[in-house]
Structure 1
Amino acid sequence: MLKNFIKIAFKNLLKNKGVTVINILGLAAGLATCLLIVFYVVDELSYDRFNQKADRIYRVNADIKFGGNSSSYAVTPPPLSAALKAEFPEVERSVRMIAATEIRFKKGNEYVNENKVVYGDAGIFDVFTLPMIDGDPKTALKEPNTIVLTENAAKKYFNSIQVVGRYITLVNSNVNYKITGVLRNIPSQSHFNFDFFMSMPSLESSKGNNWNGFSFTTYALLKPGANGNLFEKKVNNLFRKYFAQQPGFSWKNFEKSGNAISLTLTPLTSIHLTSNRQYEFEPNSSMEYIYTFSAIALFILLIACINFMNLSTARSANRAREVGVRKVLGSSRKNLILQFLAESLLTTFFATMIALVAAWLLLPLFNQVSGKELNISAQTLSWLLPALLLIMLIVGVVAGSYPAFYLSGFEPIKVLKGRLSTGFKGGGFRNFLVVMQFSISIFLVIGTLVIYNQLNYIRNKDLGFDRNHVLVVKNTIGLSNARLFKQQVKGISGVANASLSGFIPTGRLRQPNSVFTNKVPNSRNALFTEIWPVDEDYLQTMGMALSKGRNFSSQMPTDSLGMIINETAARMLGFTKDPLNKTLYYIPDGGPNNSVKQYHIIGVVKDFNFSSLRDNITPVVILLENNNNALSVRFNDNNLKPYIAQIQNKWNTLSPNQHFEYSFMDDDFNSAYRTEQRTGSLFLIFTTLAVFIACLGLFSLAAYAAEQRNKEIGIRKVLGASVSNIMRMLSADFIRLVGIAFIIASPLAWYAMHKWLQGFAYREAIQWWVIAVAGLGAIIIAFITISSQSIKAALSNPVDSLRSE
């Protein structure tokens, strides 16, 4: 019986090649898109799950509200980790890490800058599953000046992984670090990807007992069975206890002023998709994108299934007599339903095979757009093939169920007497499906337009600094005479200005610390801020403007104890009216209180965005100090490339053994929004596919509508109807359906994208024209799709359609 069903189904599919091809193409496109999105979602959900103890690892975060400004951080005070282990029996292990920036190692005679460097406590290999090829993980980071490399790093510097016991030179401090272990490369599905793990005892600031400084990423491994929610409350109480021990501090007075500091926990496996705090090791993704792309996959698959339903029911006139004859000859409705489902499943099988091949071929392009490294491996096939079989069955049954029940329900007497209303007329449910298709398509079009509008807003927003025409030369800290290099670069014709500094607005290098309004520092008079060491040319090079006061001057020696603060810092300090010459106190490098230095404010720089536009601007304090981490060069010309060779020649003269590395500041800025850019590109691709599949079905429906009404068209033409009248008649029903879809989709899309925009502190409201363009575009696309069939029907010879009458 099953063999017979398949045989007849195959013959029916071959008999109607045009419809079969359209159905298979539509389903294949939907399934291929669904597969690619499934690969993406599975990859995103797998982050950090390679850790064997992942379900018991938590990262401690800090939420700070001070002076009316709220910020969330992925860092905590240095002594927190030891306190957690000492005071809570449910803590099996607690460890810290802190990313090291502008690190240079010696490779032969060359100095190589490395960005994937971190200081870590000795216990990190007990907490995280980072298999060690060579070395003892328990003692590898116990001693000062020890380091663990990954396979990639070991091969890069020594062309071998047998390097335990050898030394690598840290150029920054001219210290030889002993290699005590080699790790397997960290999986890409990790919220941190470091190649160099330096021992925490090597870092002087890790030994302090400063509860007022937030700079270390802290993890806690809980014992099996420990309650994470209860532990979070204990952690916060512990922090409040130690934080309150600072001289003169009172939680009551602190909170009475509207301020607050609290610690929270994030499960390890949730960091990548739920955490976008300041000082993350790497930019994370968002759970919203998982929900969004999953919904898009289902929507596109649904559109493809709707096409199948619509075409099958629209062809009911062609198959009505077949059903009638079969019933007269004794076929039961059950057998007819199984026959139609067999056709649907066979169509879905062919579509699935095509979709699998298409997804495999498109995977490299998808990786390029999404920034992933997805591949189809044996492990992937182990879950992919059963999933494909399940999807094929579900799609086949869903797409074929309505046509099967609809067609098998025809009464044979009415069919054979020609009294059954079939085909395009009376298709209320089919109209509903068309409306659903285009509602989804219009929803996606509006979403795509809003995303691109927001990205365009980000690109063109006044950030408070000018990122255009600026070249950033990196690693200048390794130059023997960075000041001379700066002066030589400034002497190049076409260079407007140049500045040596530790921090730039588009960089990831950060230095969180506190300044105080009192000589006796405590949390009551503290401002948690960023400290940026710069030179006297910094503001002009960055295109920043002062709202009050003056810039640093090399002609004024007292400026070494001067500060320039941003407007947010002035507001949070209560200095909005007259901030100039006010005194602030600062403890350099987190040293002891007896190293407190007194500064006076000489200027206030207008607020500028140095973090993501998802976050509000936070306080910044700028100091005049010698810091040679990077040289920023502003040019008068738009084309910067001709100047690069001149700058590199001067670099090679001063430092022939060091790599010359540079970037463009506008590119650095754009990279911070790479996730949104990739999301926008994926949205555009998926939306185009959704509209294509919907139009594919609409094209076929229009063809069948014209076929069902060919005699009516012939009579109308004989009676004098023009081509435009015929086209208007055939198009009106479909355009009306698209209009209804627009009315349904517009408010839903507006609400969903309004919620998405809430993730940005700086955003552009959804413009009315975005909605209008989406609606008008859908109507135009639908009309163009229908018009080819409408014109063909309108231009046909009425004699051909009326000959049999």
Structure 2
Amino acid sequence: MLTNILKIALRSFWKTKGISIINVLGLSLGIALCLIIALFVRNELSYDKHFPNAERIYRVTSDIVFGGNAMNMTYAPAPMADALVEEIPEVEASVHFRNQGSFLIKRYEDNIKENKVIFAGKDFLKVFDIPLVQGNKKGALEEPNTMMISQTMADKFFKGENAVGQSLVLDNKTDYKITAVYEDIPENSHFDFHVLLAAEGLSEAKSGQWLGNNFQTYILAKPGADIKEMDQKIASMTEKHMTPVLKQVMGEDFTLEMFKASGNKVEYALQPLLDIHLHSDLLGEFKANFSITYVYLFVAIAVFILLIACINFMNLATAKSSNRAKEVGVRKSMGSDRKDLFFQFMMETFLMSLISFSMAIFIASILLPFFNDLAGRNLKLPFDEFGFYASLLLGAILVGFIAGIYPAFFLSGFKPVKVLKGDVSSGMKSARVRSSLVVFQFSISIILIFCTIVLFSQMNFIQNKNLGFNKDQIIMVHDLYALGSQKQTFKQEILGSSMIEKGTLSGFLPVSGTNRSDNPWWVMGRDIQDQENLVSIQNWQVDFDYVKTLGMKIVQGRDFSMDFPSDSSAVIINETAIKNFNFEGDPIGQKITTFSGNNVTGLNTDDLEVKTVIGVVENFHFESLKENIGAVMLFVDPNPSGIASFKFKAADVSEVLQLVEDKWKALAPGQPFTYEFLDDRFEAMYASETRIGKVFAAFTGFAIFIASLGLFALTAFTAEQRRKEIGIRKTLGATTANIVFLLSKEFTKLILFAFVIGAPLAWWGMKKWLEDYQYKIDLGWVIIFFAGAMVFLVSWITMGIQSLKAANANPVDSLRGE
């Protein structure tokens, strides 16, 4: 019986090989896209699951509102890690990290720059029990100036050697002894450091300062621990340690209730390790996370694409129904019942589904490298996993059932008397079903197009928005500390070139990833026990040429100048700071103050630092456009470490690079030359959104293509059902244009209906997405109209091709049997 079914299926396939090939290709493409999305989603859901006891690891997060600033961060005070173990019984172990940026590392002479370096507490391996390649876990990070390195770093410096016991030099000054080599942390981790330095040698890590937040802290909870109860204990613990310090400034009658009543708060909570990658977007993330919203979005796209492909399969099967109608009539007349025919057509569909899945694997293997490039991932088809093949077989059965159930019911339901007389159309009673399928397909297409347009419009808005500074044609040279005392010499020699307009040395630039700090300041003379007088403000080290080089605008007062020696104690603040300080009268010339040296341990009110406001700079963006502009203060450090930035003329970029590199190598031989362009660094802040936009656009294109195949099928179906009518109309003088309009108008109505359904849903969804941005585009009617116009254009081209074919057919062929 199965042999007979196979023969009939192959004969039917060959008889209508054109439509059958389109049928299989459309379904194969849809399955291939779903397979890629499934691999992507599986990868995103796997983050950090490789760590032993991952379900018991938590990160401490902070929610701080103070001095006009609101901060949701990954940071906690330095002493919190030890206090958690000592004071909360449910904590089995804890570790904290301190990220101080990149380091220069060498074994002998030449340095390499390594970005994935961090200071880690001594109990790192108790919390994150990663496998070691060399060395012992006990005491690995307990001594100052010791380090653990990854297998990759060991191969880089000690290929074929035992690295344990040997040393590397960091930043040309400090020897670190290697105590262990660990397996590379997998890519699907929210951190993947190659070098772990012992925080025991970091004086900041020994601090008892409870008002500073600079360390990322993790705990391993004991089995069965109640996390909500632990959060409450953490709140009590922080209140116990912070209140005495705050009382020194605020007065003995200070309480946290008073603090909160003023609109301030300092709260810490435990965040599950397994939630970080998909549910966290805090200040201080080790690397850019993804979002569970996007995961849901891609799952929805996969489902929609698969449904669209299955709908096409149904429509293409029924579009050529007349080719099987007489077969059904004859077989029913010979004694076959509907059950036998239904089984026959379902088995044919399962066969087509198996062929489609086989082709889908081939298509997916071709498309996967392009997807990896767009999405910034390294996905591979898991050919070595049994579950992969089992999933494919199960998927083939499921898709075969979904795609085949409707055509099987339809084809097996033909009335033998009517179809043998040539009346195929009366055998079909499901016009509403077909119409609903078309509406569904193109509603999804409109939603996808609209979302893609909004994504790219928002990214374009970000790239072209007035940021308050000039990010174009500025080259950033990192690691100025490698120049030693020759930083100013380097700057002046670069400025001596006619290609260079301006230059500055600074510790901070207005893009993510550069050094920053903030602390409370107040207008001199005001009562700091009144919490409303305290302003939390970013303070950045800059030189005299910072404002000019970045093209910032001074709106009050003046810029820094070497002609004024007093500028060493002067500051320039932004407009947000003016608002938060609430100066009385002209802010220029007024004095602001803070604790000397940013030392909040002890909070000695007799040891204060005083600065004079000499200028106000127009607000500029220094974080993602998802955030409001905070308060910023610039102060002069004539010789800051960090970054040298040069504004160059519209010349050959390669010549500028060569100039800067030559000067660097002359002054810092053997030190790596590391640079980037400010506009590239700015774009990197939105790399995740940009990648999502590109991936979304690609899948949208494929979805529209597959939907167009469905429309092609329905147009073919209509032409098939109305071929005699078309023949009569042409005989009576109807033109090709009349026939095309006749065949297309019904589907045009359906697509218009799809637009009415899809456009509001898309508008609502993207409005919710844009709520994450403080600065965003307006969702006007132009975008909605453009999305609809694109769908109408694609659909009319698709319908036009098939309609023209039907309109140009010889009417004699249609009426020959009459």
State the 1:717 CA deviation. 1.9
Amino acid at match of 1:230: E
Question: In the alignment, which residue of structure 1 is the partner of 2:372?
Answer: 367
| Structure 1 stretches lacking a partner, 5+ long | none
Question: In the alignment, which residue of structure 2 is the partner of 1:585?
Answer: 594
Kept after mapping to 2: 8 A contact 1:145/1:177: yes
The question of 1:612 aligning with 2:624 is answered: yes
Kept after mapping to 2: 8 A contact 1:371/1:678: yes
Partner of residue 539 from structure 1, selected from 524, 536, 547: 547
Match of 1:479, SS?
helix
1:424 and 1:468 map into 2 onto residues whose CA distance is 64
The question of 1:236 aligning with 2:249 is answered: no
Question: In the alignment, which residue of structure 1 is the partner of 2:583?
Answer: 575
State the 1:746 CA deviation. 0.4
Per mean C-alpha deviation after superposition, the further-off stretch among 717-726 and 576-585 is 576-585
1:106 and 1:523 map into 2 onto residues whose CA distance is 52
Question: In the alignment, which residue of structure 2 is the partner of 1:146?
Answer: 146
Kept after mapping to 2: 8 A contact 1:212/1:243: yes
1:798 and 1:337 map into 2 onto residues whose CA distance is 34
Partner of residue 457 from structure 1, selected from 453, 457, 461: 461
Per mean C-alpha deviation after superposition, the further-off stretch among 642-651 and 265-274 is 642-651
**Deviation readout 1:122-146 (Å, 9 max, x if unpaired):** 1111111321111222311111111
Amino acid at match of 2:611: Y
Match of 1:796, SS?
coil
The question of 1:467 aligning with 2:475 is answered: no
TM-score (norm: length of structure 2): 0.94
Question: In the alignment, which residue of structure 2 is the partner of 1:260?
Answer: 265
1:302 and 1:684 map into 2 onto residues whose CA distance is 19
State the 1:433 CA deviation. 0.6
Per mean C-alpha deviation after superposition, the further-off stretch among 553-562 and 433-442 is 553-562
Question: In the alignment, which residue of structure 1 is the partner of 2:223?
Answer: 224
Question: In the alignment, which residue of structure 1 is the partner of 2:720?
Answer: 707
Partner of residue 552 from structure 1, selected from 560, 576, 579: 560
Quick one: structure 1 residues 760 and 133, their matched pair in 2 at CA, closer, same or farther if it must change by over 3 Å? same
| Structure 2 stretches lacking a partner, 5+ long | none
Question: In the alignment, which residue of structure 1 is the partner of 2:735?
Answer: 722
Question: In the alignment, which residue of structure 2 is the partner of 1:126?
Answer: 126
Quick one: structure 1 residues 409 and 432, their matched pair in 2 at CA, closer, same or farther if it must change by over 3 Å? same
Kept after mapping to 2: 8 A contact 1:149/1:196: yes
Amino acid at match of 2:467: L
Question: In the alignment, which residue of structure 1 is the partner of 2:810?
Answer: 797
1:799 and 1:212 map into 2 onto residues whose CA distance is 91
Kept after mapping to 2: 8 A contact 1:104/1:112: yes
Kept after mapping to 2: 8 A contact 1:469/1:635: yes
Across the aligned residues of Structure 1 and Structure 2, the Cα RMSD in angstroms comes to 2.1
State the 1:240 CA deviation. 2.7
TM-score (norm: length of structure 1): 0.96
**Deviation readout 1:394-442 (Å, 9 max, x if unpaired):** 1100000011122222333333344553488862211111111111111
For 1:764-775, what aligned pairs fall within 5 Å after superposition? 764-775=777-788
**Deviation readout 1:223-255 (Å, 9 max, x if unpaired):** 000112222222223223322222224323322
**Deviation readout 1:427-459 (Å, 9 max, x if unpaired):** 221111111111111111111111001110111
1:548 and 1:129 map into 2 onto residues whose CA distance is 56
For 1:225-624, what aligned pairs fall within 5 Å after superposition? 225-246=224-245, 247=248, 248=250, 249-377=254-382, 381-419=385-423, 421-422=425-426, 427-480=431-484, 481-517=486-522, 524=531, 526-575=534-583, 578-580=586-588, 581-588=590-597, 590=599, 592=601, 593=603, 596-624=608-636
Per mean C-alpha deviation after superposition, the further-off stretch among 689-698 and 8-17 is 8-17
Quick one: structure 1 residues 414 and 722, their matched pair in 2 at CA, closer, same or farther if it must change by over 3 Å? closer
Quick one: structure 1 residues 745 and 168, their matched pair in 2 at CA, closer, same or farther if it must change by over 3 Å? same
Amino acid at match of 1:429: V
Quick one: structure 1 residues 566 and 210, their matched pair in 2 at CA, closer, same or farther if it must change by over 3 Å? farther
Quick one: structure 1 residues 371 and 348, their matched pair in 2 at CA, closer, same or farther if it must change by over 3 Å? same
2:347 and 2:517 map into 1 onto residues whose CA distance is 66
State the 1:791 CA deviation. 1.8
Amino acid at match of 2:213: F
Amino acid at match of 1:561: S
Quick one: structure 1 residues 209 and 568, their matched pair in 2 at CA, closer, same or farther if it must change by over 3 Å? farther
Kept after mapping to 2: 8 A contact 1:514/1:526: no
Quick one: structure 1 residues 390 and 588, their matched pair in 2 at CA, closer, same or farther if it must change by over 3 Å? farther
Quick one: structure 1 residues 162 and 577, their matched pair in 2 at CA, closer, same or farther if it must change by over 3 Å? farther
Partner of residue 663 from structure 1, selected from 666, 671, 676: 676
Kept after mapping to 2: 8 A contact 1:501/1:627: yes
Per mean C-alpha deviation after superposition, the further-off stretch among 301-310 and 471-480 is 471-480
Quick one: structure 1 residues 240 and 2, their matched pair in 2 at CA, closer, same or farther if it must change by over 3 Å? farther
2:272 and 2:105 map into 1 onto residues whose CA distance is 34
Match of 2:539, SS?
strand
Kept after mapping to 2: 8 A contact 1:314/1:423: no
State the 1:800 CA deviation. 3.2
Amino acid at match of 1:63: D
Per mean C-alpha deviation after superposition, the further-off stretch among 664-673 and 553-562 is 553-562
Question: In the alignment, which residue of structure 2 is the partner of 1:64?
Answer: 64
The question of 1:214 aligning with 2:213 is answered: yes
Amino acid at match of 1:538: Y
Quick one: structure 1 residues 802 and 325, their matched pair in 2 at CA, closer, same or farther if it must change by over 3 Å? closer
**Deviation readout 1:475-531 (Å, 9 max, x if unpaired):** 122113010110111111021110011111124023333133279988946544433
Kept after mapping to 2: 8 A contact 1:81/1:96: yes
1:337 and 1:577 map into 2 onto residues whose CA distance is 87
Per mean C-alpha deviation after superposition, the further-off stretch among 522-531 and 201-210 is 522-531
Question: In the alignment, which residue of structure 1 is the partner of 2:763?
Answer: 750
**Deviation readout 1:367-413 (Å, 9 max, x if unpaired):** 1111001123455x333211111111111000000111222223333
Kept after mapping to 1: 8 A contact 2:68/2:535: no
Quick one: structure 1 residues 269 and 112, their matched pair in 2 at CA, closer, same or farther if it must change by over 3 Å? same
Match of 2:193, SS?
coil
Quick one: structure 1 residues 111 and 627, their matched pair in 2 at CA, closer, same or farther if it must change by over 3 Å? farther
Kept after mapping to 1: 8 A contact 2:63/2:71: yes
1:522 and 1:160 map into 2 onto residues whose CA distance is 63
1:76 and 1:161 map into 2 onto residues whose CA distance is 39
Per mean C-alpha deviation after superposition, the further-off stretch among 135-144 and 337-346 is 135-144
Quick one: structure 1 residues 297 and 661, their matched pair in 2 at CA, closer, same or farther if it must change by over 3 Å? same
State the 1:183 CA deviation. 1.1
Kept after mapping to 1: 8 A contact 2:521/2:537: no
Amino acid at match of 1:54: A
Figure out how many residues of one structure are paired with residues of the other and give that number. 803
Amino acid at match of 1:627: P
Match of 2:628, SS?
coil
1:547 and 1:577 map into 2 onto residues whose CA distance is 16
The question of 1:73 aligning with 2:73 is answered: yes
2:747 and 2:427 map into 1 onto residues whose CA distance is 15
1:100 and 1:76 map into 2 onto residues whose CA distance is 15
For 1:27-66, what aligned pairs fall within 5 Å after superposition? 27-66=27-66
**Deviation readout 1:251-295 (Å, 9 max, x if unpaired):** 233222222221122110110111111111111111111000110
1:335 and 1:266 map into 2 onto residues whose CA distance is 58
The question of 1:178 aligning with 2:177 is answered: yes
Kept after mapping to 2: 8 A contact 1:31/1:301: yes
Quick one: structure 1 residues 522 and 55, their matched pair in 2 at CA, closer, same or farther if it must change by over 3 Å? farther
2:343 and 2:620 map into 1 onto residues whose CA distance is 67
1:129 and 1:34 map into 2 onto residues whose CA distance is 35
1:753 and 1:416 map into 2 onto residues whose CA distance is 53
Per mean C-alpha deviation after superposition, the further-off stretch among 52-61 and 611-620 is 611-620
Identity level (%) = 42
State the 1:160 CA deviation. 4.2
2:155 and 2:304 map into 1 onto residues whose CA distance is 47
Kept after mapping to 2: 8 A contact 1:126/1:138: no
Kept after mapping to 2: 8 A contact 1:66/1:572: no
State the 1:119 CA deviation. 0.4
State the 1:324 CA deviation. 2.3
